[in-house]
Structure 1
């Protein structure tokens, strides 16, 4: 028998089987009369589910359709083995054909979570706890336990997760999102650090991550990032303390009430860059790609000071006298920044 003859027989058999489908089954008609208009039903297809199981799951989700007939139609369509596992949503207006096409293409119903540049790990965990349909598996765990679960024992979590938008399907876990954000930061940090071409005050990618987190927290206007980075690089090269408020605030933890006082600047913690030289022991927030690049590629400037001007930008000074004048002009006795 030739290939052409065999194909003709297969098509004939499919056509005959199709003719035997009951008249009540309409592939292009709406699936359900049980679901109200606009109602969305969740449909979860586990890996390894048979076409018959898929048809039953659709019926269980509220579709007014015979799972036996639906399973038969899946088989006759020739796409029953192409159905993909995942989390989907079906509505009353969908037809069996629409649902099958969705399952074959793997068009899952996805949610998204956005991590913002400058967020702390605490804020990340809070966002995860409020994320729609996300399974929370790390609640009650310490930061150290979470990092061990992520395969990074004895690593401080701050700054290790890349700020971006992550999509996930219903039933995904918080630890799965964490793993993706962790690996994304690994990639971004390695990519930026690989472009190091000139001598810097930074000796490792870890230093880069720490400085980038400070640049992220100090930046009000994106265009200022390279100059802010330059100030910190210049200070590190001179052995001058960074004296940056965000590190002090981070060191205060929950004790910070929104008002940074002079006594706070004098109270020593591992993160107080007014009392200690060099970089703090860990990052203080999640830096974005722009902050990482700025930390590696500071502007060519001899500035040693900067102060917020009140419009999102900063004023940069070469000397303490010039800086004090800028503080008087722009801050009018408010707390100093960037000293």
Structure 2
């Protein structure tokens, strides 16, 4: 009997020791192959598979031990697939918590104000670890996949910095950008000043894209918008170079010639009255608001001073003097 009790006591002490060792292990930092290692958890992975993937990625422990802990601690919680970063000092509990929360590696791509849709697509094609699910598709096909069939893509995407998990697709980023522009444009249109010569949010978007391309200094946006609004009110042609350049398209080499200004295209605002048929770039929030809330300026003309700012004029004579001064160096 004593022998049996001794054996049971030894087994109990061994179990307690094993439990204490196991508890101690869960509170200790995981050994890693480097200061940071990356763990890829596939879709539908079990806790055992996640543990194995962690060890494959550089977590230095026995996969069965990590899997045992995951099963014990996870309870009813499930892990989420994706790419995860494990850093030096992280404990098994912190790793499990990261997998349960879906705290994946997040990357970012910045889409810049004033860019065209072509430039947006080029930036996405170069973005790190982004699945190129629009490669080879036309702009029309992309818009159809975004549930906007027949909508011209220019101006429809909001320029901003977008965050994404590894292996996310270009379409997912574009959808975020599209929805954000919808929201920003609706808010701007709701806040529009009374009496504008704009009939729809789409026209406000077109004007905002012109303001975006024509403004060299943020403080001038509302005045630039006022010039175009004033021209629209009196039926004067907008005569803005960026629309002409957009109409020339990828063939434009950076040198705007007189032949460009006289060649009629739907985007040539020297040969055609009113707004062009679509936006010419992706405007930011400031340009959207300037288009719907222009300043009270009566100016009909402006010319770049050469320092990023513009000189605004109400008369053609004043404008010509400003052109001579700032563009030709004639005082």
Q: Is TM more than 0.5 here?
A: yes
Deviations 1:233-263 (A, max 9, x none): 0100111000000000111111211111111
SS at match of 2:237: coil
State the SS of the aligned residue for 1:139: coil
C-alpha distance after superposition, 1:101-135 (max 9, x if no partner): 32244322100011110000111011001101000
2:74–2:96: 8 Å Cα contact kept in structure 1? Answer: no
RMSD: 2.3
Displacement of 1:275 after TM fit? 0.5
In structure 2, the partner of 1:315 is 311
Matched with 1:26 is 25
3-state DSSP class of the match of 2:38? strand
State the match for 2:7 in structure 1.
Answer: none
Distance 1:205 1:169 in 2: 33
Equivalences, count: 316
Match of 1:43 in 2: 40
1:150 corresponds to 2:149: no
| Alignment TM-score, normalising by the size of structure 1 | 0.87
CA displacement at 1:30 relative to structure 2: 4.6
Superposed, 1:166-245 pairs within 5 Å as 166-245=162-241
TM-aligned CA deviation for residue 80 of structure 1: 6.4
**How far did 1:59 drift?**
2.2
CA–CA distance in 2 between the matches of 1:26 and 1:45? 26
Q: More deviation in 192-201 or 204-213? A: 192-201
TM-score, normalised with respect to structure 2: 0.89
Q: Which residue of 1 aligns with 2:326?
A: 330
Q: 1:257 — aligned with what?
A: 253
8 Å contact 1:18–1:76 — kept in the other structure?
A: no
User: Larger deviation: 175-184 or 52-61?
Assistant: 52-61
Q: Which moved more, 1:88-97 or 1:68-77?
A: 88-97
8 Å contact 1:74–1:80 — kept in the other structure? no
Matched, 1:97 2:96: no
Residues 292-317 of structure 1: CA deviation (Å, up to 9, x unaligned):
00000010011000000011110000
Which secondary structure state, in structure 2, belongs to the residue aligned with residue 260 of structure 1? coil
Instruction: Report the Cα distance in structure 2 between the residues aligned to 1:160 and 1:236, rounded to whole angstroms.
Output: 23
Range with bigger deviation, 51-60 or 131-140: 51-60
1:54 positional shift: 2.0
Q: SS at the partner of 2:242?
A: helix
Q: Is the 8 A contact 1:79 1:104 kept in 2?
A: no
TM-fit CA distance, 1:58? 1.3
8 Å CA contact 2:158, 2:180 repeated in 1? yes
Say if 2:208 and 2:290, in contact at 8 Å, map to a contact too: yes
**2:237, 2:269 within 8 Å by CA — same for their partners in 1?**
yes
Tell which structure's C-alpha radius of gyration is larger.
2
Q: Is the 8 A contact 2:37 2:58 kept in 1?
A: no
Give the match for residue 103 of structure 2: 107
User: What residue ranges of structure 1 are gaps of 5+ in the alignment?
Assistant: 1-15, 335-339
Partner residue of 2:280? 284
1:4-31 deviation digits (Å, cap 9, x = unpaired): xxxxxxxxxxxx7994487698234453
1:30 and 1:23 map into 2 onto residues whose CA distance is 13
Q: 2:70 aligns with which of 50, 58, 74?
A: 74
Q: Is contact 2:213–2:281 with CA below 8 Å preserved after alignment?
A: yes
User: 1:113·1:166 contact (CA, 8 Å) conserved in 2?
Assistant: yes
Q: Which residue of 2 aligns with 1:7?
A: none
Distance in 1, matches of 2:157 and 2:74, equals 44
How far apart in 1 are the matches of 2:88 and 2:289? 50
Match of 1:130 in 2: 126
The Cα shift of 1:88 comes to 1.0
Question: Aligned with 2:231: secondary structure?
Answer: helix
Cα distance in 1 for residues equivalent to 2:220 and 2:160: 21
Instruction: Note if contact 1:43-1:90 (Cα within 8 Å) is conserved in structure 2.
Output: no
Distance 1:78 1:23, change over 3 A: closer
